[in-house]
Chains A and B, each alone.
Chain A
């Protein structure tokens, strides 16, 4: 038992001791230096990853060669060898140690055997041998000293044995002893056997474990796998090329060629395209220089399209140090390059944008500065103006005091200079206001006719030349529009005064009409302009030249507004100017003159600031040169444009087109009209429909007579108001034109309704003096003889008024003539039949109205009617027809059915409605719905008989006979009209 215990103990000790001396895992620790994991585990891990061996195209022979040749290879080999040797030595040492150990044990065992034997002999010799002096302590000490000496144990055993031996030396004892020893020996042998087995096992183990070639090849394989793994996942192309740049090895993650297509070939041989040559050259360069280098090359090949590769090439040296090839690594960086380029572009754009921004900021800054400067100019002008106007007005007051001739002359100069400076400053102020955006436009209702009239009146008031001022306002111009009336008036005044300034004889006038669109205006221009000009030529008295310098001798002319009410719109020329149904109308205004005109080369600079046609002009005519610039700016500010056409020595026409909103016309009840007009100083009713104004020059005498005191008159007119003394100045004369008084008489018999407006002056005088308001009553006119009578009474009344107030120059007789003449003049405007001569025909002629929109049909029908001995009035749509029927009473209406704006059926219905009810309410309503100008104020004449209305149909489905009859038509004529049909029709209805 004890022995067994001992043995176990020994064994334990052996096992425990060994590891402390030779760490078992020394080999694997060494392995870890390479950072390679245990082969087994590693292999498992790699097994998960499927290694596709295909892409690896390697020339293994070459690799071997390489390994032999290259330094790297050899060093690696050497290292591996060393490692192997080291391990080998380790193993040998271990084995040797074990052997030593074992032999020692064996020796021990033998030694003890001998000892035992010796002891035995001793005991035999000395019997209860006294050889017990061996101290236990000593032994113990020994044990402590010489671990692991078995001797001690043996000694210990000996002691025990000695204790046992205390039992005498009986045979039995000895036998026993011998047996025991034998057993011990046996055990020892057994142990030895075990040890030997163990040794063998160890040796086997060692042999099995540390077969270095296997291990190394495993490591190699692992490394190889790892490399494969990396290669497989790395987006790179790795290759080796020899001295001639032929591929010896290539790894391509995205192979597009077979192995045999690449190995042994050069780049150039493999594929073509841009970049291939470059890469070849680059590789050669590296090969020659022997220094690694990096480069980005863009390929454009058929094989893989356009791609950019980042290529790293390093030379490969042999052991001797000469280059034997290159290693090359390429990486597809196409996307990166693209991104980079995009970035660069973006950066560039940003830079450009920034540059622009700074530029813009600069411009903004400059603009702001300019604005500020202009605003300052405006403020300054304003500041200058106030004291200056003080100076000028004081001078004006001074001029009313008693002065001698010289003083007056000085004062006149002072005043004219002051006026000039004031004008200049006003102009600058306006211009800078417009340009700096300070000027705000106001939107107010105003009446264009009123504006034209006032502008002309004002101009006439300060006129110092023999000029005729006239204004035409077309019928289609709305009665009220919305706009900035002050500015429009300013423009008109500016243009008119300009025109007057440069016109020495003839006339100056305003034409106002609506254009449907801007381009359409050009065509009508000539026609429109020629008419009034030619008539004015006839009106012109004779060549009276009075070139008074501007600013001096403000002759105050008498003014008189003679106006026509209810001018019939049956005018061929205006037929194109239909009033649009939109709320905005384009109003065109021509300001024409018969002046000196503008040379063609001066037109471009005409609207520029401070520019006048020429320096001599500036000297001759004065002025600031700002007027037209302001006009243009204002017109453009209002959304229109200003143009000019001119012929040198013949005259100029300034034309501006403005968009105006049409205001909704209030419907005045008939009864209140007169009252409200009475109360209204402006005589609003007059302006609503007046369409022609004319201001004739005074006679020479009065012109001269007003010379001296003109300044005072002007001043008084403007500052103090009209006084009776001024009304005396209000004499005017119409020239004696081509119409004689007989024509007037004819007119009176006819039903053409007209109004002779009370002269403007009587109104003003009424307002100032508060008397003779009756003159205004004549605003409303009925449609027959009543009208005529009234007209006459009107003028005579006026004469009375005039003579009442008249203190001065004109004999009332002349005025009367003039007045009557005015009426006659008006009449021609009113009757709009095709030829004026028609007027003088017998009054028994029936009046026929043709309502037709087609020009061709108008022309044909007109000609036929003419041949049949009738003259006809023509209007172009139903709305105009209604208006025409309201103004004149017709004996027959020929009505087309399909017409724009209002068709014939509706027009007929409206006319019938009037005939039944006696008022035009239904028509008004419809017109308002159509956004057309309102009807004129009603004439409260006797209700009329039913007018025959004959439809002119083209036998179309939309204009069936039934429908015509249903709408109140009496009959119909099918188109095309023929003599026969017309004749029949006329016979039926006019007999």
Chain B
């Protein structure tokens, strides 16, 4: 029982740290509220979808912003960033969303340097939030395994 309590505490701590550090915002809470017995894997599913979506978009963005290209289709880039912004805001990946906003500004200015910089930032933020979320899910799983259900 002790172990479970400890794990639970750890999980709560970890989650709150994620919120404090700004990786996640309230939208993530909303997601968690959507999860219930009939849909126990909802958060994981949505977040996995987000991962897939984001990776696809990041690939597209890297491709679009390749230096060798003669002209960068900023509208296309903007559309991709927009999508990424939408999906990141939907799961509450706040920091990714913020960089997206900056990215879109660069896009509007047609600032290649800025775009590239933003792309790097997004990639970094994305991988950060991904590891964080994965750790979170792992912890939840462990707790679930240890206790049977998570107290929310």
Query: Is the Cβ of B108 less than 8 Å from the Cβ of A978?
Result: no
Query: Is the Cβ of B83 less than 8 Å from the Cβ of A854?
Result: yes
Query: Is the Cβ of A898 less than 8 Å from the Cβ of B82?
Result: yes
Chain B nearest CB, measured from A960 CB (Å): 14
Q: CB-CB < 8 A to B42: which residues of A?
A: 863
Query: Is the Cβ of A854 less than 8 Å from the Cβ of B87?
Result: yes
Of chain B, the residue at the smallest CB distance from A853 is B83
Q: CB-CB < 8 A to B108: which residues of A?
A: 957
> B8-16, B88-96, B136-144: which lies at the A interface?
B88-96
Query: Is the Cβ of B46 less than 8 Å from the Cβ of A856?
Result: yes
| Assembled-state Cα–Cα distance A541/B104 (Å) | 59
Q: CB-CB < 8 A to A956: which residues of B?
A: 82, 85, 104
Query: Is the Cβ of B30 less than 8 Å from the Cβ of A856?
Result: no
Q: CB-CB < 8 A to A957: which residues of B?
A: 104, 108
Please tell me which one of the listed residues B27, B30, B36, B85 contacts residue A954 in the complex, with CB atoms under 8 A apart. B85
Of chain B, the residue at the smallest CB distance from A979 is B30
A156 within 8 A of B: no
Chain B nearest CB, measured from A905 CB (Å): 14
A979-B30, A979-B33 in contact; A859/B86 too (CB < 8 A)?
A: no
Please tell me which one of the listed residues B34, B82, B83, B89 contacts residue A863 in the complex, with CB atoms under 8 A apart. B34
Chain B nearest CB, measured from A876 CB (Å): 13
Chain B nearest CB, measured from A583 CB (Å): 23
A860-B34, A978-B27 in contact; A954/B86 too (CB < 8 A)?
A: yes
Query: Is the Cβ of B90 less than 8 Å from the Cβ of A860?
Result: yes
| Assembled-state Cα–Cα distance A864/B42 (Å) | 11
Chain A nearest CB, measured from B25 CB (Å): 9
A104 within 8 A of B: no
> Which of A854, A898, A954, A976 has the most C-beta atoms of chain B within 10 angstroms of its own C-beta?
A976
B19 within 8 A of A: no
Please tell me which one of the listed residues B78, B79, B87 contacts residue A857 in the complex, with CB atoms under 8 A apart. B87
Query: Is the Cβ of A856 less than 8 Å from the Cβ of B87?
Result: yes
Query: Is the Cβ of A854 less than 8 Å from the Cβ of B33?
Result: no
Please tell me which one of the listed residues B33, B46, B90 contacts residue A975 in the complex, with CB atoms under 8 A apart. B90
**Which residues of A in the span 960-978 have a Cβ within 8 Å of any Cβ on B?**
975-978
| Assembled-state Cα–Cα distance A956/B27 (Å) | 18
Chain B 28-64 per-residue mask, 1 if CB under 8 angstroms from chain A, else 0: 0011011010010010011001100100000000000
Query: Is the Cβ of B34 less than 8 Å from the Cβ of A864?
Result: yes
| Assembled-state Cα–Cα distance A979/B39 (Å) | 17
Query: Is the Cβ of B53 less than 8 Å from the Cβ of A856?
Result: yes
Please tell me which one of the listed residues A856, A863, A898 contacts residue B50 in the complex, with CB atoms under 8 A apart. A856
Interface of A is mostly: helix
Query: Is the Cβ of A856 less than 8 Å from the Cβ of B91?
Result: yes
| Assembled-state Cα–Cα distance A864/B34 (Å) | 6
Chain A nearest CB, measured from B93 CB (Å): 10
Q: CB-CB < 8 A to A864: which residues of B?
A: 30, 34
Chain A nearest CB, measured from B81 CB (Å): 10
Of chain B, the residue at the smallest CB distance from A855 is B49
Chain B nearest CB, measured from A956 CB (Å): 6
| Assembled-state Cα–Cα distance A975/B101 (Å) | 13
**Which residues of B in the span 71-127 have a Cβ within 8 Å of any Cβ on A?**
78-79, 82-83, 85-87, 89-92, 104, 108
| Assembled-state Cα–Cα distance A867/B31 (Å) | 12
Query: Is the Cβ of A863 less than 8 Å from the Cβ of B86?
Result: no
Query: Is the Cβ of A860 less than 8 Å from the Cβ of B82?
Result: no
Please tell me which one of the listed residues A859, A977, A979 contacts residue B45 in the complex, with CB atoms under 8 A apart. A859
Chain A nearest CB, measured from B79 CB (Å): 7
Chain A 579-604 per-residue mask, 1 if CB under 8 angstroms from chain B, else 0: 00000000000000000000000000
Query: Is the Cβ of B39 less than 8 Å from the Cβ of A954?
Result: no
Q: CB-CB < 8 A to B46: which residues of A?
A: 856, 859-860
Chain B nearest CB, measured from A522 CB (Å): 16
| Size bin of chain B's contact surface | 20 to 34
| Size bin of chain A's contact surface | 10 to 19
Please tell me which one of the listed residues B30, B34, B86, B104 contacts residue A854 in the complex, with CB atoms under 8 A apart. B86
Of chain B, the residue at the smallest CB distance from A859 is B46
Query: Is the Cβ of B82 less than 8 Å from the Cβ of A975?
Result: no
Query: Is the Cβ of B90 less than 8 Å from the Cβ of A854?
Result: yes
Chain A 853-891 per-residue mask, 1 if CB under 8 angstroms from chain B, else 0: 011110110011001000000000000000000000000
A854-B53, A957-B108 in contact; A976/B33 too (CB < 8 A)?
A: no
Chain A nearest CB, measured from B148 CB (Å): 23
A863-B39, A863-B42, A956-B104 in contact; A857/B90 too (CB < 8 A)?
A: yes
Query: Is the Cβ of A856 less than 8 Å from the Cβ of B82?
Result: no
Chain A nearest CB, measured from B130 CB (Å): 14
Q: CB-CB < 8 A to B33: which residues of A?
A: 867, 979
| Assembled-state Cα–Cα distance A978/B85 (Å) | 16
Of chain A, the residue at the smallest CB distance from B75 is A958
Chain B nearest CB, measured from A523 CB (Å): 12
Query: Is the Cβ of B30 less than 8 Å from the Cβ of A859?
Result: no
Query: Is the Cβ of A954 less than 8 Å from the Cβ of B34?
Result: no
> Which of B31, B34, B42 has the most C-beta atoms of chain A within 10 angstroms of its own C-beta?
B34
| Assembled-state Cα–Cα distance A863/B46 (Å) | 10
Chain B nearest CB, measured from A585 CB (Å): 23
A863-B39, A898-B82, A954-B82 in contact; A976/B89 too (CB < 8 A)?
A: yes
**Which residues of A in the span 894-926 have a Cβ within 8 Å of any Cβ on B?**
898
| Assembled-state Cα–Cα distance A609/B108 (Å) | 61
Q: CB-CB < 8 A to A860: which residues of B?
A: 30-31, 34, 46, 90-91
Chain B nearest CB, measured from A904 CB (Å): 13
Query: Is the Cβ of A976 less than 8 Å from the Cβ of B34?
Result: no
Chain A nearest CB, measured from B41 CB (Å): 12
| Assembled-state Cα–Cα distance A957/B36 (Å) | 36
Q: CB-CB < 8 A to A857: which residues of B?
A: 86-87, 90
Q: CB-CB < 8 A to B26: which residues of A?
A: 978
Q: CB-CB < 8 A to B27: which residues of A?
A: 976, 978
| Assembled-state Cα–Cα distance A958/B108 (Å) | 11
Query: Is the Cβ of A976 less than 8 Å from the Cβ of B53?
Result: no
Chain A nearest CB, measured from B108 CB (Å): 7
Chain B nearest CB, measured from A714 CB (Å): 53
**Which residues of A in the span 147-175 have a Cβ within 8 Å of any Cβ on B?**
none
| Assembled-state Cα–Cα distance A855/B57 (Å) | 13
Of chain A, the residue at the smallest CB distance from B108 is A957
Of chain B, the residue at the smallest CB distance from A957 is B108
Chain B nearest CB, measured from A853 CB (Å): 8
Q: CB-CB < 8 A to A898: which residues of B?
A: 79, 82-83, 86
Query: Is the Cβ of A856 less than 8 Å from the Cβ of B49?
Result: yes
Q: CB-CB < 8 A to B92: which residues of A?
A: 976
| Assembled-state Cα–Cα distance A978/B25 (Å) | 12
Chain B nearest CB, measured from A865 CB (Å): 10
Q: CB-CB < 8 A to B91: which residues of A?
A: 856, 860
Q: CB-CB < 8 A to B45: which residues of A?
A: 859
Chain B nearest CB, measured from A136 CB (Å): 128
Query: Is the Cβ of A976 less than 8 Å from the Cβ of B90?
Result: yes
**Which residues of A in the span 932-991 have a Cβ within 8 Å of any Cβ on B?**
954, 956-958, 975-979
Chain A nearest CB, measured from B57 CB (Å): 10
Chain A 838-865 per-residue mask, 1 if CB under 8 angstroms from chain B, else 0: 0000000000000000111101100110
| Assembled-state Cα–Cα distance A978/B33 (Å) | 11
| Assembled-state Cα–Cα distance A864/B39 (Å) | 12
Q: CB-CB < 8 A to A978: which residues of B?
A: 26-27, 30
Chain A nearest CB, measured from B48 CB (Å): 10
| Assembled-state Cα–Cα distance A430/B84 (Å) | 53
Residues of B with Cβ closer than 8 Å to A? 26-27, 30-31, 33-34, 36, 39, 42, 45-46, 49-50, 53, 78-79, 82-83, 85-87, 89-92, 104, 108
Q: 15 A-B pairs, CB-CB below 8 angstroms? A: A854-B53, A856-B50, A856-B90, A857-B87, A857-B90, A860-B30, A860-B91, A898-B82, A954-B85, A954-B89, A956-B82, A957-B104, A958-B82, A976-B27, A978-B30
Q: Which 3 residue pairs spanning A and B have beta carbons closest together?
A: A863-B34, A976-B89, A856-B87
